[in-house]
A and B are shown apart, each in its own frame.
Chain A
Amino acid sequence: AQTVTQSQPEMSVQEAETVTLSCTYDTSENNYYLFWYKQPPSRQMILVIRQEAYKQQNATENRFSVNFQKAAKSFSLKISDSQLGDTAMYFCAFDGGSNYKLTFGKGTLLTVNP
C-alpha cells in the first residue's frame, strides 16, 4: 500500500522569505502523480501544484515549485516570497493511477509571520 509521510507537523516563516516543506512516499508503482494541496482556515482544499512521475522536469507554479527526487521518493514544496495568505495546512498527496484514490500525508501547518 502506498504511504505518504510529512515529517514536519508545523513550520513558520517570515513574510517574503522562502520555505521548503518535505514529503516522502512509498510505492512500487512506476507511473504516478504527486500533488500538494493547501487548506486555509476556510477548510477549502486547493490544488497548489502537480507533478507527473515520468516527467524529469520539476513543476513550477508562480511562487511554488517542487523538488521531485524519484529514486529517493521525495517530493518537497518550495514557497518563495512567502505571503500572509500562504498561511494554511499543506498536504502532500499521491495518486498511483491504478490505486483509484488520492492518498494524503498528515499535513504541515505553515504560518507566515509579518
Chain B
Amino acid sequence: DSGVTQTPKHLITATGQRVTLRCSPRSGDLSVYWYQQSLDQGLQFLIQYYNGEERAKGNILERFSAQQFPDLHSELNLSSLELGDSALYFCASSSRTGDNYGYTFGSGTRLTVV
C-alpha cells in the first residue's frame, strides 16, 4: 500500500457519460497530481493542486475538471466521455521536503468507455 488511495479501481461507462475519480493523498502530503496513461502513450500530466489551490495545468481537456477539498482529497471529473478517454488515470501526492522528496502514486483507476 503506497498510502495514496484511488477509487474506484475500475470503471466502465458509455460514451457521453460523466464520471468522477477520487484520490486521497498520503498522510501529510499537500500536493495532488493527476496523470493519464493511454495504451500507446506515456504518462501525461493533467493537473496539480496544492493545499486546495490549482498550481499547474497540463494538456487537460475542457471536458475534464478537478478540485481538491479541505481534507486534501481530490476528485477528477470527466464529462461527455469519448472512446479515446479510455485510459489508466493515476493520482500522485508529493512530499517536497528534504530526504523525503518524491512522488507517491496510487494504484490507478482504469476507465473504459464503451
Interface residues of A (CB under 8 A from B): 33, 35, 37, 43-47, 50, 52, 91, 95, 99-107
Contact = CB atoms under 8 A, between A and B. Distances in A.
Interface in B22-81: 33, 41-43, 45, 48, 50, 55-56, 58
Given A43-B110, A101-B33, A102-B103, 20 more contacts: A35-B102, A37-B105, A43-B88, A43-B107, A44-B2, A44-B105, A44-B107, A44-B108, A45-B90, A45-B108, A47-B103, A47-B104, A50-B102, A99-B56, A100-B50, A100-B55, A101-B58, A102-B92, A106-B42, A107-B42
A45 B105 contact: yes
A46 B103 CA distance: 10
A39 to B, nearest CB: 9
A102 B101 contact: no
B45 A103 contact: yes
Contacts of B92: 45, 102
A109 B65 CA distance: 32
A39 B76 CA distance: 22
21 contacts: A33-B102, A43-B107, A43-B108, A43-B110, A44-B108, A45-B108, A46-B105, A47-B103, A47-B104, A91-B42, A99-B56, A100-B55, A101-B48, A101-B58, A102-B33, A102-B45, A102-B92, A102-B103, A103-B45, A105-B42, A106-B42
B43 A104 contact: yes
A108 B45 CA distance: 19
Contacts of A105: 42
B102 A104 contact: no
